[in-house]
Structure 1
Amino acid sequence: MAGQFEIFTDAEAKVRFRLLGADGSVLAISRSFEDKRSAVAGITAVRECAGTGLVKEARSHARAGTGGTRPGQPAPYPRRHRPIPAA
């Protein structure tokens, strides 16, 4: 069995959908929509772009607090190439 989309109503009475894997595990949950028709349009948009979408790694800015180093760790210095002195 292939994965499937499931439309549901959340705790705030908004309509959402979730993408379920072949084994029934939840792979993704959508943002909230005002009505079922809008959620179906969201599913259609996901279907159209999912097969051709590029994979991109999101990188956060280090000053925003979500950089590549652990909290309390100094950022590594950039490497600079130094000329080797003549002997």
Structure 2
Amino acid sequence: MAGQFELFTDSESNVRFRLLGADGTVLAVSKPYADKRAAADGIMAVRECAGTGLIKETRSNAWGGTGRIRPGVPSPSHRSHRHFPAV
């Protein structure tokens, strides 16, 4: 069985969707949408680009930041971002 999308209403009365794996594991949760139609449009956008999207490795911290170096701390002379082909 393939994965599936599941629509639900969150605790703040926004509509969201989650992507479930074949075994029922939650793989992703969407941003909040105002209504079911907007959430369905979001699902269509995910379906459209999921198969062709690149994988980009970035550094981040646990609080959603970008991993920027604090003032006064030396930074690397160059940063490399690797792009991986879609699988």
Check whether TM > 0.5: yes
What pairs up with 1:15-30 in 2 under 5 angstroms? 15-30=15-30
Aligned residue type for 1:34: A
Does the Cα contact within 8 Å between 2:69 and 2:75 map onto a contact in 1? no
Query: What's 1:38 paired with?
Result: 38
Provide the aligned C-alpha RMSD in A.
Answer: 2.0
Query: Structure 1 segments of 4 or more deviating over 3 A?
Result: 74-78
Aligned length: 69
Alpha-carbon offset, residue 76 of structure 1: 8.5
Residue type of the alignment partner of 2:45: A
Structure 1: stretches of 5+ with no match in the other structure: 65-73, 79-87
Point out the structure with the larger strand share: 2
Decide whether aligned partners of structure 1 residues 76 and 10 sit closer, same or farther in structure 2, where only a CA change above 3 A counts: closer
- Within the alignment, does 1:58 sit opposite 2:69 as a pair? no
Q: Identity over aligned residues, as a percent?
A: 64
Conserved 8 A contact 2:10-2:16: yes
1:48 aligns with 2:52: no
Hey, what does 1:2 align to over in structure 2? 2
- Listed as ranges, the gaps of 5+ residues in structure 2 are 60-66, 78-87
Sort the Cα spacing of 1:77 and 1:42 in 2 relative to 1 into closer, same or farther, 3 A. Answer: closer
- The separation in 1 between residues aligned to 2:30 and 2:53, in whole angstroms, is 17
Structure with greater Cα Rg? 1
